[in-house]
A and B are shown apart, each in its own frame.
Chain A
Amino acid sequence: MQTSGISEREMTAAELFEDFHGRMGFRNKVSNALMAIALFEVKSRSKNLRKYISDGLIISKECVSILEDITQNYSTYRHRDYTSKTLFDILTNRVSQNPDKSKLETYKKGFSAAEEVFETIQAGGKPDQEKVRTAEQIMTEIDQEIESTYASEESLYRGSFIPR
């Protein structure tokens, strides 16, 4: 995995491979979080629901913690894994060390609401509807932001790794 701000074009094959899969993994977990909400609302009996709720909780907690770190130390912030790299890239638009403060606050509120929603669902309770919508909104928005921030990377990956 590469340092924030360094173009994927400068990555080695191993870094590019990890970057692509890391992005897929993050987005897949976000998709599972959205599925947890959708299936909970229709009272689904899916055997996967437990995992989706757990994924939603894990990703929300992780993002809250990362966003808090960024708030405290944004000028010297260094990512620690793929999730933190992605969030920092999205907040800085990959051009500076200064995150978009209003976006940072929106994300913190969104992921905190999501954390509360998944905790309540996991405990068998009924989550606040407004917070459910906020959770849904933040997960959808983060997925779209990843898509647009790394728009060129997927084709770069596929262009670099061509089954011959």
Chain B
Amino acid sequence: MRRVYTVDPSFQGESVLAETIASRIRAAVRNLADAKEQIKKEGIKGDTDDSLKSLLVGIVEKIEAQIEFILQEIREIRRDEAKRGRSDRVHRALEGFLFDVDLIRTTTLQIPTELYYLTKAALRELGHEDVKVVLILEASLGTTNLSGNLKRLSEFFEDVLDYIDSDFPFYWIIFVPPSLIRTPLNWPLVVHEIGHILERQKWQLVGKYGIVLF
């Protein structure tokens, strides 16, 4: 069970506003650090090569390394309103990232292992074993690039952006609805989503030939 930190009791020697901001942001980072330890210890279901673990742990480590620079910048801002605005955005980004980490960690648990086998077998047969995919349980079938979405949360952390661009420019989420999980005859629909992924990462046929994919 994760501990939720709200205030940093060790923090002293700054204005009340600066203290509150630093305390709130450091608490959010500690929650992320807890989530990181949980992932390191328990792993993520279906992540057989530990690549998703590396992506998420790597991001949290880079955020931890940069957070004091971000706090220093907030201290340098003259106007209190601007300090509040900036700290709110940083805090929301950290919360958003924690939300995504928890979402991935918990919803992957509900995906049958066999569906992961099917996904990996399909990629292998198509000659694209290098393509990174995570399956998560959600309301409707679809796919998106997790890496691109995580970058949008990470605009304050240049090292995180560089890390994602260099090591994981593509890491796909396939959203799998409960109805599909309950009906194995429909599992090939996941292969349909793999088609979208390969189009976006490898083929780009739509742009080249004006082909429409459904």
How far is B152's CA from A2's CA once the two chains are assembled, in angstroms? 17
Contacts of A103 in B (CB 8 A): none
Q: Give the interface of A toward B (CB within 8 A).
A: 12-15, 17-18, 20-22, 24-25, 27-29, 31-32, 34-35, 38-39, 41-42, 44, 46-48, 51, 55, 140, 143, 158, 160-161, 163-164
User: How many A-B pairs with Cβ below 8 Å?
Assistant: 106
B: interface residue count bin: 35 or more
Whether B142 pairs with A12 at a CB distance below 8 angstroms is: yes
Residue contact B152 to A21, C-beta cutoff 8 Å:
yes
Say if the beta carbon of B173 comes within 8 Å of chain A. Answer: yes
Cβ of B92: which chain A residues have Cβ within 8 Å of it?
A: 24
Interface of A is mostly: helix
B37 interface residue, CB < 8 Å from A? Answer: no
Q: Could you give 21 example pairs across A and B, Cβ below 8 Å?
A: A14-B143, A15-B142, A17-B144, A17-B149, A17-B173, A18-B144, A25-B153, A27-B89, A28-B93, A28-B152, A31-B156, A38-B86, A39-B73, A41-B78, A44-B76, A48-B69, A160-B138, A163-B106, A163-B107, A164-B110, A164-B137
Across-interface contacts of A31 in B (CB, < 8 A): 85-86, 89, 155-156
Which A residues touch B78, using CB under 8 A? 38, 41-42
Contacting pair A14 B155 (CB below 8 A)? no
Given the contacts A13-B142, A17-B173, A38 and B77 also touching, CB distance less than 8 Å: yes
> Is B142 a contact partner of A14 (Cβ separation < 8 A)?
yes
Q: Which residue of B lies closest to A161 (CB)?
A: B103
Majority SS of interface residues in chain B? helix
Chain B 80-120 against A: per-residue CB contact (8 Å), 1 yes, 0 no?
00100110010011001001001101110010000000000
Q: Is the CB of A25 within 8 A of B151?
A: yes
**Contact A161–B138 (Cβ < 8 Å):** yes
Taking the nearest CB of chain A, how far is it from the CB of B196, in angstroms?
10
Give bound CA distance, A161 to B92, whole Å. 16
Residues of B within 8 A of A158 (CB): 99
- The one of B76, B82, B96, B149 that contacts A46, using a Cβ cutoff of 8 Å: B76
A35 touches B155 (CB 8 A): no
CB distance from A99 to the nearest CB of B (A): 25
**Docked complex: B151-195 residues within 8 A CB-CB of A:** 151-153, 155-156, 158, 173, 175
Task: Report the bound CA distance from A141 to B138 in whole Å.
Answer: 35
Q: B69 is contacted by which of A24, A46, A140 (Cβ under 8 Å)?
A: A46
Least CB separation from A22: chain B residue? B152
> Which of chain A's residues have a CB closer than 8 A to the CB of B70?
48
Instruction: Write out, one digit per residue, whether chain B residues 50-78 have a CB within 8 A of any chain A CB (1) or not (0).
Output: 00000000000000000001101100111
